[in-house]
Structure 1
Amino acid sequence: MIDLKPAGQLFVLACAAIISYLWLRYKHIRSVPAGTVHNAPREADASETSPRHTSANRPPLEILYHGPTDAAEGPVEVDIVAVHGLGSNVDWSWTWQDKSGRRPPVHWLKDLEMLPAVVPNARIMVYSYESRWHANAPKTRLHLCGKDFIDALHNFRNDVPGRPIIFIGHSLGGLVIQYALLLADKDEKFKYLPKNVVGFIALGCPFKGTKMQSIPDIIARFMVLANSHQGIIRDLVYGSDTLRDQLDALCQLINTLSIPTCCFFELYATDYGIRFGCPGYIKGMVCLLRGIATELANPAIQVVREESACIDGWPKKPVQTDHLKMNKYSGPEDRSFRSVSAVIKDMYAGARDVLGHRNATTQNCYFVVPFGRNENFVGRKSILQQLLGRIPPSANQYDCQRTAIEGLGGIGKTQIALEVAYQVRDKHPDCSVFWVPAVDATSFENAHRDIGRQLGVKGIEDDKADVKMLVKAALGHKSAGSWLMIVDNTDDIKLVTSLSEYLPSNRKGSVLFTTRDHSVVSSLDISPKGLINIGEMSREESFEMLKKYVKQESRWHDMKSTTELLDLLADLPLAIRQASAYMFQNGIPTTKYLRYCQSSDKDMVKLLSEDFQDRGRYDASKNPVAMTWLISFEHISQSRPLAAQYLRFICFLAEKDIPISLLPPGRSELEIDKAIGTLKGYAFIMERNEPDSFDIHRLVRLVMRNWLQTNGEWQEWVTKVSQRLTDKYPFPKHENRAIWVRYLPHVLQLRNECADKETGLLFNVAESYSQLGKYNEAEQMYRQTLELRERVLGRKHPDTLTNMNNLAAVLDRQGKYEEAEKMDRQTLELRERVLGKEHPSTLGSMNNLASVLNKQGKYEEAEKMHRQTLELREQVLGKEHPDTLRSKANLDICLQAKTDKGL
């Protein structure tokens, strides 16, 4: 075993590449007599092609056999197009050579006794592209080859655009055909081309890549110093994600159009060294690089293995040869030719039937959708991909799929479903699409009547007919073909329950629902895999949407204002649509619209309530964001009263991290869970990582607060929320810090709306600020609370006196000693009068006053008061009481301060 370090491997590889290049050129000079013209195709080095053979000097498509020359033989009925593989040349790729020289070359695509004899009424042509892996191919990509191929076909066949096509691809040529078909299917200009394909023959095509990919890559780097990193060679890495995705898309297209296919795979290994007259040489060089000397004894390599060349569900046939010879046949009796040509003959014979069935299927499909395609639709690519992989009936041949798009009103569910409807129509022309609004029972029935008319259902016009049941029966029959039904706005759980028996079911059918209510998903028995939750758009998507609707760059070019506006609108599609419509209609920029929104909540709600025209919604007069959510609120109020109460309650709290423990109690834990689940189901509130808390959507909160004011419920709910927070908010201590710190943002949100009698809550908040070291905020809150308590409770009330004491303490902590002293004296005087001189609270005030006197340097008075406090605490509380010991320590501090000052 040879063990080489990386540097040594690179050196050996370079030397081997140089030797190989010199050896090949030597072989070439020795084998070609002077003056020889390269005009005969032969199995030689791919680089041995004269200038006239290069793809740059010839048209992309060339006819090898024009079809019948005699009118009596009939017209040309099919085009057969062959595409060669990697490292090949269109002149010799399809040609068999007799190495002994006794027999002439055989070109099976054009020699009259070969394929033209099998399909005489076909026009046979070849496509030429640069595939030399050691020259220009590393600079070419499959995507570019596919694009060039489809352009060439379109231009070449413009006089016979509807003529059937059979493709033959050898090796990489099959992938070029694959890319061309997929590109054409996505482009309206070329979409007709895949619909005319009646056959696809793959000769050793590496649909899943090849493990031989690294060999030409290595040699190409050193022989021509080419960078193949982005080229065809790199496109062939075995098992790559790109090849897998492309293959999935091709299979879907093949299945949709029912294109006949056949995969041929090689049975023998290939020795690439034979092509250069040095059997085993290339394999030996690669093995040397890898340090595996034992592999030199087995120089043959299987280029495209069966698992890569054959696709599940497609017919497959073996070829009794290797990869280099599976597209070269010696004559009419060649067993490989007979096998391949038989398949071509069958595809040729069945071309009319395939197209007839395809056209009949397409003609019997219906597209009953009330809205046009939204040309301004942006983003949501991952969601669309997920839906398109699930909802086409062909995605599950064993069951009628049920899928639901769930999300907040205005999040874009209907627009996503609409885009999906058009994409299914384009990608699956054999699939009918029906749109059924479930806004109410009438719209549901009317949509079914329209569907019944399209299907020609008997009795559909009868006034007494059960329209919904008739349509269900029609779509349940196998003659209905493939269909997708989109049931939009399934938000009313009672309505959905009553109509669910009319939902059709057929293994060739699929039903897609859009809903705001998660309970609808459960009632329709939709599996978790079938549920797709929709959130706000990404910032890039939001910005792109705003630009599309506002149109003029001058109105959104201020990126700071535009970003702030999108923040305010929470990247909600309907809100962005409404804002952009207002800006477009009134000719204002984002800066001014943002200023309107920020001026007051009332103005913000007014803007969210503005009507605007949108053809993609059912009622142009009810488009506003506010109206959309209030409809959902009405549904909740009827089905889940406690959930509606909770929504009223939480709109007074902060938006983030709302603990469930703050909510009013329900009759049972089950009822509470259902209420919270309902709000989550409508996406009014969003789950957090913590199981006991949630967030409320910013705009939902704003609209709900406005609704309470408009309907006269504001003060009632302010009082209820204040009382609940007063009951739940504890007096702040170190041991309960986790609780009050979490509750504090919600109390602060309610601060300016608290009723006067809820002074206990404000007092606790003031103390919370003090505990957090926010003394300025604590002072302001204590002063506000003191003013309220003096007015409501009176100056001598114990709670008022406690408030004065704590305010003095906060002033002390801020260094406002004179104000603190004044407040402490007032508190002490009132406590002595109300509580008595020996009351613990009075003694606490004496201690506080002594301490603030000490801080101001009034040591004599401070000492005297500390001694009085100590003496009284010893008498009242005892010498070992913590407060007594604290007084003793304070007296020592005072005495030490006097000593330090020399007093």
Structure 2
Amino acid sequence: MADDGQTILSRKRTYEERNSPGPEDNTSKLKRVCSITEPGSSSEEGVTGNESWPASSAPAMSTAKPRSKLTCFRISGIPVKWNKDDLLLALRSFDPDFNDARKLSLFPACSGRTQTALLRLDPLMCSEYFRRIDSTQEQYELIEGDPDIYLVIDKHLLGLTPLNTPGDDAIVDVVAVTGLAGHAFGSWCSRKTGCMWLQDLLPTDLDNMRVMTYGYNSSLTRDIVNHTFVDYRRSFIRALMDARSENESRPIIFIGHSMGGILILQVLLQAKAGTQYRCLFDSTRAISFFATPHQGLHVKELLEMVHDTASGPTSKIEFIKQLKEGSSFLDSQREDISSLWESSSDIEIATFYETKKTPTSSSDAWTRDGENVQMVNRNSAMLFWPFEHRIPVESDHTDIVKFPARGNSTYGSVVAHMTKCMKRLKDASGE
């Protein structure tokens, strides 16, 4: 156990007292929404290998054991001197029934002087404490000592989340951005194997990098703050600047799925337009776009589902319309990004486009029993830049970023693309 003078003590309240409603329970909670996804898109709330359901229409839990069903929890605010044993002791101080640390990973936080842990648990087998953590909340747990420490536990993974422990020789930041109504962890997990390739594969296959995933609240159900692209862009820029405050010139490789690619371009447009965030643009060395709808997304079923949950037009409906085929917002962005790089740009661009249709959700249910459609057609997914690499993927809109294993051919293309970029960076630094 790390010896930092910190004595980990059990909280004063019992487990039942902490989890029972009452005036004494004034723990701060961050509201977030369990979202539906783009028709046929990824599982939510960090769940791998399963469908996602809004709370209002969730079906009864099946008694059959799922093939792969792990929920990812994030634990923030961990002191830098703690190791896994310290964290386990702290977890058991407020959850005596916790006994599964097989999928516990501990990484330096993206910003600040703390650590962040990722814990993958089977929701059917984990303790009652973790089963009761809702996707709309952050759970704060006091670890008494000198000084006191608050651990923050959530499963929404909003903001930047670290996925590896970079060495002192890290020369690049890899930042993955999920799509509309996606999840920063679950959207990248294979439903066949549970593999989360950004954490499980990439840091092993390529060294000298810091890998992070970014989550943002783009849920289409329940009541949420009415975000605009300006809000998303500002939040993403702030997170990047905070994470890179100690090395603003470190190169960046972006990975964007669907709307995540649009958000990346929004950030780069803002960064190039002025001096305040220019370092983000100047540091960008490569982008991998996965089914990014530069010319629009098939949104018919999305609009029908959102209409079903609202009594009239909402900002969510208007937001989705910005992503539809032929929208003026996307038309303007295509014109704007033409000035980002010249044809001789040193930035590597890889465009991965889907070749299979995606099951959609019917308007009268939250199940994927609707029509199979091409969510993003190949022309919409392409930028048509001279230096763009275009790669077809035998997958639908959801699974295009869910690589089940290292032998997946699309994952191999991603690694090859990054390897080329990394070689250029090392050559430029004289290594």
Same fold, TM-score > 0.5, yes or no: yes
- Aligned residue runs from structure 1 range 153-192, under 5 A: 153-192=240-279
Shift of 1:340: 2.1
Matched residue of 2:391: which SS?
A: strand
Q: Is the aligned partner of 1:29 residue 2:60? A: yes
What letter is aligned with 1:329? F
Change (3 A) 1:23 1:196: closer
2:135 is the alignment partner of 1:50? yes
Q: Is 1:85 aligned to 2:184, yes or no?
A: no
Q: Aligned partners of 2:341 and 2:324: how far apart in 1?
A: 24
Counterparts of 1:261-300 in structure 2, within 5 Å, are: 261-273=349-361, 278-280=367-369, 283=370, 299-300=371-372
2:10 counterpart residue number: none
Q: Distance in 2 between matches of 1:351 and 1:106?
A: 28
Counterpart residue number, 2:166: 67
Which amino acid in the other structure matches residue 159 of structure 2? P
SS at match of 1:317: strand
State the Cα distance separating 1:108 from its structure 2 match.
0.3
What does residue 335 of structure 2 align with? Answer: 248
TM-score (norm 1): 0.31
Give 1:208 deviation, angstroms.
Answer: 1.1
Q: Distance in 2 between matches of 1:135 and 1:258?
A: 43
Q: Which has the higher strand share?
A: 2
Aligned pair in 2 of structure 1 residues 193, 227: CA closer, same or farther (>3 Å)? same
> Could you tell me how far 1:251 is from its partner in structure 2?
2.7
Partners of 1:108 and 1:332 lie apart in 2 by 8
Query: Is the CA contact (8 Å cut-off) linking 1:79 and 1:123 kept in structure 2?
Result: yes
Q: 1:229 deviation in Å?
A: 5.7
SS at match of 1:97: coil
What is residue 208 of structure 2 aligned with on the other side? 121
Relative distance call for 1:56 and 1:194 in structure 2 (3 A) is: farther
Q: Give 1 or 2 for the bigger CA radius of gyration.
A: 1
Q: RMSD across aligned C-alpha pairs, in angstroms? A: 3.4
Matched residue type, 1:186: A
Q: Cα deviations across residues 576-607 of structure 1 (Å, max 9, x unaligned)?
A: xxxxxxxxxxxxxxxxxxxxxxxxxxxxxxxx
> What is the Cα deviation at residue 317 of structure 1?
0.4
Determine the structure 2 residue equivalent to 1:341.
415
Q: Deviation at 1:131?
A: 1.7
Residues 57 and 332 from structure 1, CA distance in 2 versus in 1: closer, same or farther, beyond 3 angstroms?
closer
Report if aligned partners of 2:220, 2:316 keep a CA contact under 8 Å in 1: no
Q: What whole-Å deviation, never above 9, does each CA across 1:178-208 have from its counterpart, x for those lacking one?
A: 1011111122110121011000110000111
Which position in structure 1 is the counterpart of 2:302?
216
**Shift in CA distance, 192/328, structure 1 to aligned 2, threshold 3 Å:** same
> 1-side partners of 2:429 and 2:291: how far apart?
27
Matched to 1:65, the amino acid is N
Q: What whole-Å deviation, never above 9, does each CA across 1:631-661 have from its counterpart, x for those lacking one?
A: xxxxxxxxxxxxxxxxxxxxxxxxxxxxxxx
2:294, 2:334 within 8 Å by CA — same for their partners in 1? Answer: yes
Partner amino acid, structure 2, of 1:259: I
- Secondary structure class of the residue paired with 2:301: helix
Taking a change above 3 Å as real, the CA distance of residues 58 and 264 of structure 1, as seen in their structure-2 partners, is: closer
Mapped contact 1:266–1:306 kept (Cα < 8 A): yes
Cα distance in 2, alignment partners of residues 304 and 41 from structure 1: 33
Counterpart Cα distance in 2 of 1:147 and 1:305: 29
1:355: Cα distance to partner?
9.0
CA shift for structure 1 position 97? 2.3
Instruction: Report matched runs for 1:260-409 at 5 Å.
Output: 260-273=348-361, 278-280=367-369, 283=370, 299-313=371-385, 314-352=388-426
Aligned equivalents of 1:75, 1:23: Cα separation in 2: 43
Q: How does 1:448-527 map to 2 (within 5 A)?
A: none
Q: Which amino acid is 1:97 matched to?
A: R
- The one of the two structures with greater contact order (alpha-carbon pairs below 8 A, sep at least 6) is 2
Aligned to 1:85, the other structure's residue is in SS state coil
Name 1:107's counterpart in structure 2: 196
Note the alpha carbon deviations across 1:307-354, whole angstroms, 9 max, x for none.
110111222101111110011111100122112222122222223567
Is 2:323 the counterpart of 1:236?
yes
Tell me the amino acid that sits aligned with residue 155 of structure 1. D
Q: Could you tell me whether the CA contact under 8 Å between 2:254 and 2:264 is conserved in 1?
A: yes
Residue in 2 aligned with 1:408? none
Q: Equivalents in 2 of 1:127, 1:60: separation in Å?
A: 5
Could you tell me which amino acid in structure 2 is paired with residue 219 of structure 1?
Answer: M
AA aligned opposite 2:358: T
Distance 1:171 1:59 in 2: 18
**Residues 182 and 249 of structure 1 are in contact (CA less than 8 Å); yes or no, is this contact kept in structure 2?**
yes
How far did 1:29 drift?
2.2
Preserved CA contact (<8 Å) 2:349 2:389: yes
Amino acid at match of 2:354: E
**Residue 27 of structure 1, CA deviation:** 5.2
Where structure 2 has 5 or more consecutive residues not aligned to the other structure, the ranges are 1-51, 73-119, 123-132, 139-152
Aligned to 2:234, the other structure's residue is in SS state: helix
What does 1:649-688 correspond to in 2, within 5 Å?
A: none
User: What is the alpha-carbon distance in structure 2 between the residues aligned to residue 269 and residue 231 of structure 1?
Assistant: 25
CA displacement 1:284-312 (0-9 Å, x = unmatched): xxxxxxxxxxxxxxx21110110110111
* Equivalent residues of 1:79, 1:124 under 8 A apart: yes
| Counterpart contact for 2:158–2:216, Cα < 8 Å | no
Q: CA shift at 1:89, angstroms?
A: 1.1
Does the Cα contact within 8 Å between 1:137 and 1:231 map onto a contact in 2? no
CA deviations 1:219-275 (Å, max 9, x no partner) are 11222557136753122021222212212222321327532111100010000349x
Q: Distance in 2 between matches of 1:173 and 1:121?
A: 24
Report how many residues are paired: 298
1:816-855 alignment, distance < 5 Å: none
**Residues 84 and 173, structure 1, Cα contact 8 Å, conserved in 2:** yes
Give the Cα–Cα distance (whole angstroms) in 1 for the partners of residues 54 and 219 of structure 2. 19
Q: Residue 171 and residue 311 in structure 1: after superposition, are their counterparts in 2 closer, same or farther (change >3 A)? A: same
Asked if the contact 1:142–1:175 (Cα under 8 Å) also holds between the matched residues in 2, the reply is no
Q: From the superposition, tell whether residues 348 and 300 of structure 1 become closer, same or farther in structure 2 (CA, over 3 Å).
A: same
Query: Which residue identity does 2:59 align to in structure 1?
Result: H
Deviations 1:77-101 (A, max 9, x none): 1100000001211120111123xxx
- Tell me, what secondary structure is at the counterpart of 1:189? coil
Q: Which runs of 5+ in 1 are unaligned?
A: 1-20, 43-47, 69-73, 284-298, 357-903
The alignment-based identity, stated in percent, is: 24
The whole-number CA distance in structure 1 between the counterparts of 2:227 and 2:337 is 21
**1:119, distance to aligned residue in structure 2 (A):** 1.4
* Maintained 8 Å contact 2:252/2:283: yes
Shift of 1:134: 2.7
The CA deviation string for residues 39-93 of structure 1, in whole angstroms up to 9 with x for no partner, is 5589xxxxx972358999755111111223xxxxx60011000000012111201
Structure 2 counterparts to residues 603-618 of structure 1, below 5 A: none
Relative distance call for 1:58 and 1:320 in structure 2 (3 A) is closer
The change in CA–CA distance for 1:322 and 1:352 in structure 2 (over 3 A counts) is: same
Name the CA distance, whole Å, in 2 between partners of 1:65 and 1:240. 38
C-alpha contact 1:174 1:205 (8 A) present in aligned 2: yes
CA distance in structure 2 between the partners assigned to 1:207 and 1:188 by the alignment:
26
- Equivalent positions of 1:773-788 (< 5 A) are none
**The residue matched to 1:93 in structure 2 has which SS?**
helix
Q: What SS does the corresponding residue of 2:410 show, helix, strand or coil? A: helix
Partner AA of 1:117 in structure 2: T
CA 273–164 in structure 1, closer or farther in 2 if over 3 Å, else same: same
Q: Which amino acid aligns with 1:270?
A: T
Mapped contact 2:175–2:255 kept (Cα < 8 A):
yes
Compare 48-57 and 195-204 and name the one that shifted more.
48-57
Query: Which of 259, 268, 283 is residue 347 of structure 2 equivalent to?
Result: 259
